[in-house]
């Protein structure tokens, strides 16, 4: 369907979308877009943040590297100066 057809003949476009599952929209006989039916976005299944697991990961990541001065201590030092 052309852009004009979709705008002017929406009920027909909606029926075609329901039947075909997608509509290719053209401009000057060249495809410019696909119109797909709306569907709810899928969740990625990302796990909740676990502070204990994160601490274990940090310890494994940094291994035996010496611990430097904390950000809080650096801020406090800068503010006192």
Domain ranges of the chain: 3-35, 51-80
Query: Which pair of structure tokens corresponds to residue 36?
Result: 């797909």
Which DSSP letter does residue 21 get?
Answer: S
In the predicted structure, residue 76 carries a pLDDT above the cut 90: yes
In the predicted structure, residue 41 carries a pLDDT above the cut 80: no
State the pLDDT at residue 58.
Answer: 86
Strand partners, 46: none
* Cβ(42)–Cβ(49) below 8 Å: no
Which DSSP letter does residue 78 get?
Answer: H
Q: What is the pLDDT of residues 13-39, one digit of tens each?
A: 999 999 998 999 998 889 999 999 888
Average pLDDT over residues 58-77: 85
């Amino acid at each position: 369907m052309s852009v004009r057809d979709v705008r002017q003949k929406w009920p027909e476009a909606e029926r075609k979308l329901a039947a075909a599952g997608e509509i290719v929209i053209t401009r000057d006989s060249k495809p410019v877009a696909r119109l797909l039916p709306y569907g709810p976005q899928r969740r990625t299944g990302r796990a909740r943040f676990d502070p204990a697991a994160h601490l274990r990961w940090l310890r494994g990541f940094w291994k035996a590297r010496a611990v430097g001065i904390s950000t809080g201590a650096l801020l406090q030092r800068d503010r006192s100066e």
